[in-house]
Amino acid sequence: MSMVQNKQIISKIYTFLEQKLPIKIGVNKKNELARLIYEISQAKKVSLKEIAEAVDVDTIIKDGKSNLFHKIKKGLIAIRYPSFEHGDNLHLMPLKIRDENIECKPWDFNLKPESIFVEKSVKDMIWTCEFIKKFPSAKVVVINSFAEGARNFSRMTPVEIYNPRRENIFLIKNKSAFIKICPCTKGCVRCGYWILNVGFGCPIDCTYCYLQMYSNSPGIILPANIEEYFNYIVEFDKKVGKRTRIGTGEFTDSLALDKYTNYSSYLISFFRETKNLVLELKTKVADINNVLKQKPHRNVVLSWSMNPDHIAEKYEQGSSKIEARINAALLAVKKGYKIAFHFDPLVYYDGWENDYRNVVEEMFLHEEIIKHTVWVSLGSLRYTPGLKQAAEQRFSENNMFYRGEFFVDELGKFRYPKELRIDMYNKMTNWIRSFKTHAWIYLCMEPEDVWAGTLLNKEDGFK
């Protein structure tokens, strides 16, 4: 399905509503019905006619105009959200697909920036010169500050800004927030993770990525003063007093740009000196050549996000294939690194069990992976209304949002019902544990009551 076809379907739905309904309904009501019809048509691959028949629109119309909108909406909800109960928040927001030109173009693992904006304060640094040398055809623009460089792009919408981000690289001097606690989500059990901020912006295009909503940067931001991180890491290591995980994968993929930044070689050597801190380099790519050149040590863990192949292909555009990620993990182990995995987001659809069990089996059929995996996280697909609207404008294939039921939680995020999440976590836990791995399994961004329903103990942790 292309973006143009999606737009045609939406336009047909609005025409249908206008022609079929014997009364005029307001814009918001029309938008709600259109969203329900669109999601059903996408998820179940059924025509407008079939949906109208399933809801029995003709009989509802014959019954008279009173309560017409509510009756049709109720019928559509029964199809799209069979477990809906009074009080559940569905947040049926308008469909905003409006321009095929903002569909994203996938990344091919090669950075080809048109412009490199360089803050004056870092322009003579060795790291900066090395980085710029790799892109002889890029225009280099010296700026006083990131804000000054970003001003040229300020008239663009967040989606328009996000798509061409790989064309503009900002080399800056990071001055603050080198290390911060993972913000997690209010009301969820924290796993004690910390974030080392080595840049902002990721070249990979995951449909579910919150950065496409959160980012207002017109390019990928990379700190040139990577050497200065050492002192902050050493100071923080003294403060924590116990084994603590810290990762660089919050605002970017830890290794997707490593062949250009070479950050891994700096970080791996910095963490060689730490007593408590363990660095996690979390990625969806298989190119770990720079990491393999470094001597491994116990304070560095390489990790991969995992999903069934077809999910990765559709919804993690520009990432490495799952088989390649597993092979990279094997190379890391062979070199002497500890490894970890993240099944986050777990995506629900008919037949998810088979696919996810297969991935677990593909991974753990390797003795080395059973033995050297130190943690596995589980998290289910979650997103804000804004993210869903942004993804709908950027990707023509969005079925991950339309299969399975999502209800808005207290914090405004769409999530699968708790019972379903618990079931998914328990099945995953059983499949993983059947391989007798000692890996610590934990949930990401889940509240106490979800933990309590699972086979996992929230008091366990990384030792």
- The CB-of-339 to ligand SF4 minimum distance in angstroms stands at 17
Contact status: 374 vs ligand SF4 (CB under 6 A):
no
Which C-beta is closer to ligand SF4: that of 427 or that of 458?
Answer: 458
Which C-beta is closer to ligand SF4: that of 6 or that of 197?
Answer: 197
Distance CA 249, CA 416 (A): 24
Q: How many residues are listed for the chain in this entry?
A: 463
Distance CA 428, CA 31 (A): 37
Calculate ∠ Cα 135-200-188, nearest 5°: 155
Contact status: 102 vs ligand SF4 (CB under 6 A):
no
- The CB-of-331 to ligand SF4 minimum distance in angstroms stands at 25
Task: Find the DSSP H helices in 26-156.
Answer: 27-44, 48-55, 57-62, 68-80, 126-133, 146-150
Q: Which amino acid is at 276?
A: N
Token digits of residue 157: 């919408």
Residue 217 backbone class (left: φ over 0; alpha: ψ -120 to 50; beta: rest): beta
Token digits of residue 346: 């777990």
What DSSP line would sit under 232-282, residue for residue? Answer: HHHHHHHHH-S-EEEES-SSS-SSTTHHHH-HHHHHHHHHTT-SSEEEEEE
Distance CA 156, CA 165 (A): 12
- The CB-of-42 to ligand SF4 minimum distance in angstroms stands at 29
- The CB-of-386 to ligand SF4 minimum distance in angstroms stands at 19
The β-bridge partners of 118 are 142, 171
Which C-beta is closer to ligand SF4: that of 73 or that of 382?
Answer: 382
- The CB-of-197 to ligand SF4 minimum distance in angstroms stands at 14
Taking CA atoms, 23 is separated from 26, 66, 121, 387, in Å, by 10, 10, 65, 33
Distance CA 463, CA 361 (A): 25
Which C-beta is closer to ligand SF4: that of 17 or that of 306?
Answer: 306
Which C-beta is closer to ligand SF4: that of 108 or that of 410?
Answer: 410
Question: Could you identify the residue written with the tokens 């014959």?
Answer: 62
- The CB-of-134 to ligand SF4 minimum distance in angstroms stands at 32
Site string for ligand SF4, 180-199 (x = CB under 6 A): --x-x---x-xx-x------
Which C-beta is closer to ligand SF4: that of 210 or that of 266?
Answer: 210
Contact status: 444 vs ligand SF4 (CB under 6 A):
yes
Q: Which amino acid is at 250?
A: E
Which C-beta is closer to ligand SF4: that of 72 or that of 445?
Answer: 445
- The CB-of-160 to ligand SF4 minimum distance in angstroms stands at 29
Among 245, 266, 268, smallest CA distance to 182 is for: 245
Which C-beta is closer to ligand SF4: that of 150 or that of 191?
Answer: 191
Counting residues that bind ligand SF4 (by CB under 6 A) gives: 8
- The CB-of-183 to ligand SF4 minimum distance in angstroms stands at 7
- The CB-of-186 to ligand SF4 minimum distance in angstroms stands at 11
Site string for ligand SF4, 395-434 (x = CB under 6 A): ----------------------------------------
Find out whether 440 and 462 touch, Cβ atoms under 8 Å.
Answer: yes
Which C-beta is closer to ligand SF4: that of 165 or that of 421?
Answer: 421
Find out whether 346 and 286 touch, Cβ atoms under 8 Å.
Answer: no
Which C-beta is closer to ligand SF4: that of 193 or that of 402?
Answer: 193
Helices 3-20, 48-55: crossing angle, 10 deg rounding: 40
Contact status: 54 vs ligand SF4 (CB under 6 A):
no
Contact status: 445 vs ligand SF4 (CB under 6 A):
yes
Count of other CB atoms within 10 angstroms of residue 55: 23
- The CB-of-450 to ligand SF4 minimum distance in angstroms stands at 12
Which C-beta is closer to ligand SF4: that of 64 or that of 183?
Answer: 183
Find out whether 354 and 180 touch, Cβ atoms under 8 Å.
Answer: no
- The CB-of-263 to ligand SF4 minimum distance in angstroms stands at 20
Task: Tell how many helices (H) and how many strands (E) occur in the chain.
Answer: 21, 17
Footprint of ligand SF4 (CB under 6 A): 182, 184, 188, 190-191, 193, 444-445
